[in-house]
Amino acid sequence: MARYNPLVQLFVFGALWGLSEVVGGKALYEANIPNASVYLSASGFFLLAVARGLFNKRGTSSVIGGMAALFRLVNASFVCHILGIFLMGVAFDLAASILLKGDKKSFLRSSLTGITGAYGGYALFALIITYVVRYEIWIVGGWQKVLHHVFLTGSLAAAVAAILVPMGYVLGLRSRTHARLESRWAFSSSLIFVVILWTLGRMAG
Protein backbone atom coordinates (compact mmCIF):
# COMPACT_ATOMS: atom_id res chain seq x y z
CA MET A 1 0.00 0.00 0.00
CA ALA A 2 3.01 2.30 0.35
CA ARG A 3 2.89 3.19 -3.33
CA TYR A 4 -0.59 4.65 -2.82
CA ASN A 5 0.51 6.83 0.11
CA PRO A 6 1.23 9.97 -1.95
CA LEU A 7 -2.16 9.81 -3.70
CA VAL A 8 -4.11 9.41 -0.47
CA GLN A 9 -2.11 12.22 1.13
CA LEU A 10 -2.95 14.46 -1.84
CA PHE A 11 -6.60 13.65 -1.16
CA VAL A 12 -6.07 14.84 2.43
CA PHE A 13 -4.84 18.22 1.17
CA GLY A 14 -7.75 18.40 -1.26
CA ALA A 15 -10.26 17.59 1.46
CA LEU A 16 -8.71 20.16 3.81
CA TRP A 17 -8.96 22.82 1.12
CA GLY A 18 -12.49 21.73 0.30
CA LEU A 19 -13.56 21.88 3.94
CA SER A 20 -12.15 25.39 4.29
CA GLU A 21 -14.18 26.37 1.21
CA VAL A 22 -17.39 24.85 2.55
CA VAL A 23 -17.10 26.27 6.08
CA GLY A 24 -15.31 29.52 5.27
CA GLY A 25 -17.27 30.17 2.11
CA LYS A 26 -20.59 29.77 3.86
CA ALA A 27 -19.58 32.17 6.62
CA LEU A 28 -17.98 34.79 4.36
CA TYR A 29 -20.71 34.94 1.74
CA GLU A 30 -23.53 34.96 4.29
CA ALA A 31 -21.79 37.92 5.96
CA ASN A 32 -21.33 39.64 2.58
CA ILE A 33 -17.59 40.11 3.13
CA PRO A 34 -15.99 42.01 0.22
CA ASN A 35 -13.50 40.02 -1.88
CA ALA A 36 -14.40 36.83 -0.02
CA SER A 37 -12.62 34.72 -2.64
CA VAL A 38 -9.28 36.18 -1.55
CA TYR A 39 -9.71 34.84 1.98
CA LEU A 40 -10.73 31.45 0.64
CA SER A 41 -7.81 31.40 -1.80
CA ALA A 42 -5.37 32.00 1.05
CA SER A 43 -5.93 28.58 2.60
CA GLY A 44 -5.81 27.00 -0.84
CA PHE A 45 -2.46 28.52 -1.74
CA PHE A 46 -0.94 27.59 1.60
CA LEU A 47 -2.07 23.95 1.31
CA LEU A 48 -0.93 23.75 -2.32
CA ALA A 49 2.49 25.05 -1.29
CA VAL A 50 2.88 22.60 1.62
CA ALA A 51 1.90 19.72 -0.64
CA ARG A 52 4.31 20.90 -3.33
CA GLY A 53 7.12 20.84 -0.79
CA LEU A 54 6.21 17.27 0.14
CA PHE A 55 5.53 16.01 -3.41
CA ASN A 56 7.22 18.21 -5.98
CA LYS A 57 5.82 16.52 -9.07
CA ARG A 58 3.86 17.83 -12.02
CA GLY A 59 0.15 17.24 -11.70
CA THR A 60 -0.02 16.99 -7.90
CA SER A 61 -1.45 20.49 -7.44
CA SER A 62 -4.07 19.82 -10.12
CA VAL A 63 -5.10 16.63 -8.30
CA ILE A 64 -5.52 18.62 -5.07
CA GLY A 65 -7.53 21.29 -6.87
CA GLY A 66 -9.74 18.65 -8.46
CA MET A 67 -10.30 16.93 -5.12
CA ALA A 68 -11.13 20.24 -3.41
CA ALA A 69 -13.57 21.11 -6.21
CA LEU A 70 -15.26 17.70 -5.86
CA PHE A 71 -15.49 18.20 -2.10
CA ARG A 72 -17.18 21.56 -2.64
CA LEU A 73 -19.53 20.13 -5.27
CA VAL A 74 -20.71 17.28 -3.05
CA ASN A 75 -21.01 19.32 0.12
CA ALA A 76 -21.96 22.81 -0.99
CA SER A 77 -22.51 22.84 -4.77
CA PHE A 78 -22.29 26.17 -6.70
CA VAL A 79 -20.58 25.54 -10.05
CA CYS A 80 -18.98 29.00 -10.21
CA HIS A 81 -16.76 28.41 -7.18
CA ILE A 82 -16.00 24.82 -8.13
CA LEU A 83 -14.48 25.91 -11.43
CA GLY A 84 -12.41 28.58 -9.68
CA ILE A 85 -10.97 26.09 -7.20
CA PHE A 86 -9.94 23.62 -9.89
CA LEU A 87 -8.39 26.28 -12.14
CA MET A 88 -6.41 27.71 -9.24
CA GLY A 89 -4.89 24.27 -8.68
CA VAL A 90 -4.06 23.96 -12.38
CA ALA A 91 -2.51 27.44 -12.58
CA PHE A 92 -0.44 26.81 -9.46
CA ASP A 93 0.65 23.46 -10.91
CA LEU A 94 1.92 25.09 -14.11
CA ALA A 95 3.77 27.82 -12.21
CA ALA A 96 5.35 25.42 -9.70
CA SER A 97 6.41 22.99 -12.44
CA ILE A 98 8.50 25.77 -13.99
CA LEU A 99 9.67 27.86 -11.04
CA LEU A 100 10.10 25.16 -8.37
CA LYS A 101 11.55 22.47 -10.59
CA GLY A 102 14.29 20.53 -8.80
CA ASP A 103 13.10 21.56 -5.31
CA LYS A 104 14.25 25.16 -5.65
CA LYS A 105 14.32 26.73 -2.18
CA SER A 106 14.54 30.37 -3.29
CA PHE A 107 12.08 32.67 -1.53
CA LEU A 108 11.78 34.68 -4.75
CA ARG A 109 10.92 31.62 -6.86
CA SER A 110 8.29 30.34 -4.45
CA SER A 111 6.84 33.83 -4.07
CA LEU A 112 6.65 34.22 -7.85
CA THR A 113 4.95 30.82 -7.99
CA GLY A 114 2.22 32.14 -5.72
CA ILE A 115 1.85 35.39 -7.67
CA THR A 116 1.77 33.63 -11.05
CA GLY A 117 -0.60 30.97 -9.77
CA ALA A 118 -2.96 33.60 -8.41
CA TYR A 119 -3.10 35.77 -11.53
CA GLY A 120 -3.22 32.69 -13.75
CA GLY A 121 -6.03 31.06 -11.78
CA TYR A 122 -8.11 34.24 -11.60
CA ALA A 123 -7.60 35.01 -15.30
CA LEU A 124 -8.46 31.49 -16.44
CA PHE A 125 -11.56 31.45 -14.27
CA ALA A 126 -12.82 34.86 -15.42
CA LEU A 127 -12.33 34.06 -19.11
CA ILE A 128 -13.77 30.53 -18.99
CA ILE A 129 -16.78 31.37 -16.79
CA THR A 130 -17.62 34.32 -19.07
CA TYR A 131 -16.88 33.11 -22.57
CA VAL A 132 -16.99 29.29 -22.35
CA VAL A 133 -19.45 28.47 -19.57
CA ARG A 134 -21.27 31.75 -20.32
CA TYR A 135 -22.54 32.21 -16.76
CA GLU A 136 -25.24 34.88 -16.88
CA ILE A 137 -23.87 37.20 -14.20
CA TRP A 138 -20.47 37.25 -15.89
CA ILE A 139 -21.88 37.75 -19.37
CA VAL A 140 -23.80 40.81 -18.15
CA GLY A 141 -20.69 42.18 -16.45
CA GLY A 142 -18.59 41.70 -19.60
CA TRP A 143 -14.98 42.82 -19.84
CA GLN A 144 -15.36 45.23 -16.94
CA LYS A 145 -16.18 42.36 -14.57
CA VAL A 146 -13.40 40.20 -16.04
CA LEU A 147 -10.78 42.92 -15.64
CA HIS A 148 -11.97 43.76 -12.11
CA HIS A 149 -11.72 40.10 -11.10
CA VAL A 150 -8.23 39.63 -12.56
CA PHE A 151 -6.51 42.91 -11.76
CA LEU A 152 -8.21 43.98 -8.54
CA THR A 153 -9.33 40.82 -6.74
CA GLY A 154 -6.54 38.84 -8.42
CA SER A 155 -3.92 41.33 -7.23
CA LEU A 156 -5.11 40.98 -3.65
CA ALA A 157 -4.91 37.19 -3.95
CA ALA A 158 -1.44 37.46 -5.52
CA ALA A 159 -0.21 39.60 -2.62
CA VAL A 160 -1.45 37.03 -0.13
CA ALA A 161 0.01 34.14 -2.14
CA ALA A 162 3.38 35.90 -2.39
CA ILE A 163 3.70 35.54 1.39
CA LEU A 164 1.89 32.28 2.14
CA VAL A 165 3.36 30.14 -0.65
CA PRO A 166 7.02 30.51 0.48
CA MET A 167 5.96 29.72 4.06
CA GLY A 168 3.99 26.65 3.02
CA TYR A 169 6.64 25.41 0.61
CA VAL A 170 9.41 25.55 3.21
CA LEU A 171 7.16 23.78 5.71
CA GLY A 172 6.52 21.04 3.16
CA LEU A 173 10.22 20.61 2.38
CA ARG A 174 11.10 20.35 6.07
CA SER A 175 8.33 17.82 6.66
CA ARG A 176 9.34 15.56 3.77
CA THR A 177 11.92 13.49 5.65
CA HIS A 178 9.61 12.99 8.62
CA ALA A 179 6.78 11.93 6.32
CA ARG A 180 9.00 9.29 4.72
CA LEU A 181 10.09 7.93 8.09
CA GLU A 182 6.47 7.56 9.12
CA SER A 183 5.41 5.93 5.84
CA ARG A 184 4.22 2.76 7.62
CA TRP A 185 1.38 4.69 9.20
CA ALA A 186 0.86 7.22 6.41
CA PHE A 187 -1.65 5.26 4.34
CA SER A 188 -4.03 4.22 7.13
CA SER A 189 -3.87 7.53 9.01
CA SER A 190 -4.36 9.54 5.81
CA LEU A 191 -7.31 7.40 4.79
CA ILE A 192 -8.95 7.84 8.19
CA PHE A 193 -8.32 11.59 8.02
CA VAL A 194 -9.95 11.81 4.59
CA VAL A 195 -13.06 10.04 5.92
CA ILE A 196 -13.21 12.40 8.91
CA LEU A 197 -12.88 15.48 6.70
CA TRP A 198 -15.62 14.30 4.33
CA THR A 199 -17.87 13.59 7.30
CA LEU A 200 -17.27 17.08 8.61
CA GLY A 201 -17.98 18.46 5.16
CA ARG A 202 -21.34 16.69 5.02
CA MET A 203 -22.22 18.03 8.46
CA ALA A 204 -21.21 21.60 7.55
CA GLY A 205 -22.71 21.63 4.04
pLDDT in tens, 53-65: 988 899 999 999 9
Could you tell me if residue 61 is inside a domain? Answer: yes
Q: What is the pLDDT of residue 1?
A: 47
DSSP 10-65: HHHHHHHHHHHHHHHHHHHHHTT-TTHHHHHHHHHHHHHHHHHHH---TTHHHHHH
| CA distances for 63 relative to 15, 59, 88, 152, 177, angstroms | 11, 6, 11, 28, 22
Could you tell me if residue 1 is inside a domain? Answer: no
Could you tell me if residue 45 is inside a domain? Answer: yes
Q: What is the pLDDT of residues 21-74, one digit of tens each?
A: 888 877 887 788 888 889 999 999 999 999 999 888 999 999 999 999 999 888
Could you tell me if residue 146 is inside a domain? Answer: yes
Domain with 193 in it: 9-198
* Domain total of the chain: 1
pTM: 0.90
Could you tell me if residue 4 is inside a domain? Answer: no
